[in-house]
Structures are given as C-alpha cells and as structure tokens.
Chain A
Amino acid sequence: MNQHHHLSTSDTNSPVKETFWRFSSRKTPGIAKPINNHHAPHKFEKFNGNIIPTKKKEYDSSSIYNHNQYISKDSITITNSSLSSSPSSTLSTSTASTTTTTTTTNTTTSHLNVTESHLSLSASSSSTSSISSSPNSLNSSNSGIDHLNSNNNSNNSNSDSNNNTPNIVGNKYNSERSRKFAKLLHGSNVDLESLKKLGWCGIPTLYRPMVWKILLGYLPSNGERREEILERKRKEYRDSLPQYYIHEDKRTEPDKKTLKQIQLDVPRTNPNVPLFQQSLIQEILERILYIWGIKHPSSGYVQGINDLATPFISVFLSEYVEDPFTCQVDKIDPNILAKVEADSYWCLTKLLDGIQDHYTFAQPGIQRMLAQLRELLEKINSSLCSHLADQDAQFIEFAFRWMNCLLMREIPFPLVLRMWDTYLCEKEGFGVFHVYVCAAFLVQWSDDLKQRDFPDIMIFLQKPPTQNWEDRDIESLFSTAFYYRSLYEDAQSHLKSNKLFK
C-alpha cells in the first residue's frame, strides 16, 4: 500500500484553462492526428542502449570499426585480429613497429612511449584526418563542395584488406600533410597562422596532442621553452590536488555539493567509450572537474563540462598508448597518467576561459548563441524557421544542448576530436563558429523537419541520425558553416553584444 490519491480541491476559476489553450497551438486543429513515430525510432536509436530487461545491445558493427573506438564495454578485451584491422593500429605500427606483434589479449595496453622527439619524424601514415575543401578553397558556391579527397578508411569495416592495400593517393596526400605538420612543429618557433591553416582540415592523430596544446596556448609556440613550461604547469596542478584530497569534514557545503554532482556525472560520461568506464580515468576526470570547479566559482561545475573534458583525456593519452579508446588504463605508468591529467586540466581551463559565460548564472553565452542561431536560420532558410515557429518548437528546447555540450551529445566521439581540430584553428571556434555549424546541422534536415509536427521535431532532433557519420560528414558540415559565415558574418556581428534579444 504505497499510494495515496489526492484530488485537488483548489478553486475552479483558475488560469488552468489558459494552459490548455497553449496546447492548442501545438496540435493541428480539432482532435489532431499527429504523425508520431516515436514508438518506431529510427534504427540508430538504441545504438548505445543497454536495455533491461531484454539486455539487448544493438551495436552497429560498421560504426564500431568505422571510428575504431566504438567497442562495447563487453568487448574491452579485443582480439588481435580485430585490433590489427583497426586503422589506429596502422599508425602504431609505423611509430613503433613492435607493438602489433604482441599476442596477449592485452595488446591494447602496450606503451608506445611516443615522446615529443617522435614528432620530428615524418610519419608515413597519418591516420584519420581526411581532407576536403580548405577554408581557402571555398568560394561562393554552397552546393557541391565535394569530398573527393576524403580518405577515410571507414567503409571497410571488418575487412583487413584495406590496411594491406591502402588508398595510395590518400596515403601520399596524408603523408605529405604529415610532413607539413612535422616541418611546422619542428622549427624553434611555430608559425601559428600556418598551423591553423593546415589544421583547419584536420590534424593527424600523431600531431594532435601537441597541436592542440599549442593552439590552446597551453604550450608556447617557442619550442625551447616547452619542456620547462610543461614541467611547471604539471607541478602547479599537482600542488592543487590537496584541495581535492582534504578530509570530508573540512570541505565546505558548496564544495561537497559540487563533488556530489561530479560523482553523479562522471560514471555517466561517454558511457559508450570503454576508456571512460575505467575507474582510473573516472578518478582523473573527477579530480579535474572538482579542481576546475572550485577554482572557478563564478560558474562552478556545470553539467556538461564533464563532456568537454573527455576529448583532452583521450587525445593526450594517445601520446602514450596506441588506442586510447580501448586501452587498459591500469597498465599505464602512473607518471604518464599524471601528465595526461595535468595537461587535460590546463587545456580544459583554456577552453572554458574562452566560453566562460556559457556556464555562469542564467548562461548568457548560450542564450546569445541561441538567439544568433535563430537569426541565422531566418536568413538561411526562412521557411524552416517559420515552420518551427508554427509548431512552436523553440530553439531553447532543441538546441540548448547543442550549445551547452558543443554538439558532443549529437556527434560520435571520435568525430568530435575532428571537430575540435577545426574549432581550435578558428579564431573563436567554440563561441562563434559553432553557431554556424549548428545552423548547418539544422538546415541539413530541413526537408524532413518541415514535414514533422512539434513532438516529431523534438524527438528527431533529440537523436539526430549521425551515428554512422564519418569524417566527411563533419567536413561537409564545416564547409557549409564556413560558407554561411562568409555570407552572414557582418550581418550577425551586431548580435555579439549581449543585449540583443527578441
């Protein structure tokens, strides 16, 4: 007997009626017959689903290997054959040819000890980043920005053959790109503008950790001072850790609350990437978020910041292990983990410095971006804009998360890394260019969205069909976003002021 019914006896001349009149704007006239497909979700719906009681796991095998990291929790122990078919092992072979011959199921844990000195080598296979139009090559034609050069190994999911017979043209191109990165980074003073130009189209995995650190301003462009600065910053972070480790009784109430929230969110972070299910990584994430939170009281830890820390952890781990997504963290030297942790902390700090008002009270930065997005859409695709308005689908309802988590919840994790390459090469990638990307993201489903009513719009946009996306989809998105910006940047600039809200 655990229920108790109560019927409100409150007065009858209430504004409740108005409440219902509100609803009428969200349905077709009369007793509506909305098209509703939420009971028949598109096939990607349960991609990460760990559904009880059926315990059904529906992993799309092609995407598992497309992005070479979507491996379910249960398959952390992957076999050698599947490992060697993953593109990332191609990279590791080129950098440390001994690793792939290891025969235990723990292959993934082998340490690569890739140090910065390796960066001067010109790696012959630069892995991921395929190439499409660079910002420079974009002219005023929106349509038909093609991706001829797109050399991602992703269409050959489980077949080994591709690694044995690589796309020669693409490899040549990639190795040439890698050489360019190597050359740029090798000099005693990195030319940031050239680096951004080169990196806009994607940064090879091998160079990504270093390039990100430089672009974020964590490492100086001057090569000689890097070691010294790294050492100092890592020590500074280490010295702040006692704040985390203080006795529970000494923690202030707000700090306790922060820690509790972080502890709730850490296990719920990137649940589909095995790396983030490992306790050592979760502890690292917890410390990073807690220290960041107490050092930035104006915003404090806000849900979603946990997502933003994850790219750094996995990218900086990739300096030391061949496949950070599936590596066994407890086999990694704790000193290495400490470096990864400190670097991730500082880079997260740098990133958030640039978008601080996204997370302060009432999140004005996000409100501003949402207003910009609406203005943009009005210009780009006014019929979609008015359809959304007709359906009373508000931007804050479907696009809040796009801003708060920088589309990380909508885009497969490995592609997020690719996105950040470009964002970091942009002047204000995360705060400004992102709005154009969101506009491109929305507009690509325009025809579909225009046929949907309010609930269907929401349900579709909550889980847009991006699960099988590849690098080229991101690049296409960016090309469109770049184009929009070239058209509308000036018109939008007035929006940068905080004041303008409809």
Chain B
Amino acid sequence: MSKSGSQEEYDYLYKIVLIGDSGVGKSNLLSRFTRNEFSLETKSTIGVEFATRTIETQGKVIKAQVWDTAGQERYRAITSAYYRGAVGALLVYDIAKQATYKSVERWLTELRENADRNIEIMLVGNKSDLRHLREVSTDEAKEFSEKHKLSFIETSALDSSNVELAFQNILTQIYQLMSRPSHGPIVTDDPTPTGVSVDWNNNNETATKPSNCSC
C-alpha cells in the first residue's frame, strides 16, 4: 500500500466528536464532510471511526480530526474515552425522530461529564431532507440551543445541505475561541502529553464515572 504523498500543511489541528443516538446519521455526516460520500447501507459504527479533512478559515489552515462514535448506551463506558482531547462536538439528532431529539439532554450530560468543559458544542438536526416526516420543528430546536448556549444548524447528509457549513462554523468558532490570547500557544513542539484526565487504558477509569464532577 503506497502512500499518496499528498503532504499538507496546517496551522491548527482540532479534534471534533460526533455524538447522538444511533441512526441519526453521524457516520454519513462524517463521510459527507470528509469524502463527499453518502450511503444508504452503512454498517452500524462499532468503537470509533475516524477521518480528517483540512479547511481554511480566516486565513488559517485548519485540520479537523473528526471522530465518530457508536450511539448505543452499552458503548458509552468506552466511548467516553474518546472525548479525550476533543475541542468540538456535533450533537446530532434526527429531525424526523422525536426520540432522538429527546436524547439531546442526555448527551449534553454525558459531554459535561466526560469532555473538556470548554468544548464547543453544535446541535445538529440532520435529515432535513425528510421535510414531510419532520417531527422536530426548527424553532423548538433553536430555542433549546439558545437556552443551552449551543450553536445550531440543520443539515442533510443525503443532499449535502449545510454539512460543509456546520463543520466550517464549528471549526471557526473553535479557532476564535482558541486564538484568544489567554489560551496561549496552540501548536507546540513539546511532545509531552499533559493534562487531560481520562486515561482509558485504565480499566477502572472506564468502568466508573466520576461522581463528584464539578460541572
């Protein structure tokens, strides 16, 4: 297997996670954004899947590492590990399935418990092409996101609408947040990993969630 050799430069590298109930279209949002592909017959995601894409915003080249996780609860003990280092999250629901929207709060709780507290969150109502089947109104979701200080967008991985924009927006927001002076250097030569608390090699860690979470 030879490498393509297409070397690319970038200024910033951001890890984004996709979360939300099973079947809302996370994997297809990922494939639409990173490969411009959509499939009706994707297999369910097991563990994590991963892809990257580089975009430009405000004169900077940003490489997005997008992580896709399984939506089923059973896996959450393990997927919580995948929040490690994530600076953005797309919290996806299906506009044609009320139940997936109802779960949004639960996912927010999970984010609060497992992710960095400054993680940038965008609520994404996917499958906007299914107009005739809509169960969650745009206004309702918009109101919810204002209340919870999330950004919000409706997308369709099927017809591509707003997919590009969703990623572009969250990456830009992260960039703006990160480039504020108090955040210091983002790119560094220091290879020492620091800080982030979840060490998911440790089995005990994954089995129990911190009970006295400060947030």
Contact = CB atoms under 8 A, between A and B. Distances in A.
A469 to B, nearest CB: 14
A2 B192 CA distance: 42
What is the size category of the interface that chain A forms with chain B? 35 or more
Interface of B: 1, 3-11, 13, 15, 22-23, 34-35, 37-44, 46-52, 65, 70, 72, 74-75, 77-78, 81-82, 84-87, 99, 116-118, 120, 125, 128, 138, 142, 145-146, 149-154, 158, 162, 165, 169, 173, 176-178, 180, 182-196, 200-204, 206-207
Contact of B7 (A18, A34, A455, A465): A34
Interface string A1-37: 0111111101011111111111111110111111111
Interface of A: 2-8, 10, 12-27, 29-42, 46, 48-53, 260-261, 264-265, 267-269, 271-272, 299-300, 302-304, 306, 359, 361-364, 367, 392, 394, 396-397, 400-401, 404-405, 409, 445, 448, 451-452, 455-456, 458-460, 462, 465, 501-502
Contacts of A32: 10, 13
Main secondary structure of the interface of B (DSSP, over half): loop
A404 B8 CA distance: 34
Nearest to A18: B195
B41 A50 contact: yes
A502 B201 contact: yes
A401 B47 contact: yes
15 contacts: A2-B152, A2-B154, A20-B188, A24-B188, A30-B189, A265-B44, A268-B41, A269-B43, A302-B75, A361-B207, A363-B77, A363-B78, A394-B200, A404-B46, A459-B51
A302 B87 contact: no
Contacts of A267: 41
A303 B44 contact: yes
Contacts of A23: 13, 15, 85
Nearest to A33: B7
Contacts of A501: 201-204
B116 to A, nearest CB: 5
Contacts of B192: 21, 24-25
Given A16-B183, A21-B192, A33-B7, 13 more contacts: A3-B152, A6-B146, A6-B151, A6-B173, A18-B196, A22-B193, A23-B13, A25-B191, A29-B189, A36-B4, A40-B4, A394-B200, A455-B50
Nearest to B206: A362
Contact of B23 (A264, A361, A396, A397): A264
A22 B194 contact: yes
B6 A39 contact: yes
Contact of B153 (A2, A42, A405): A2
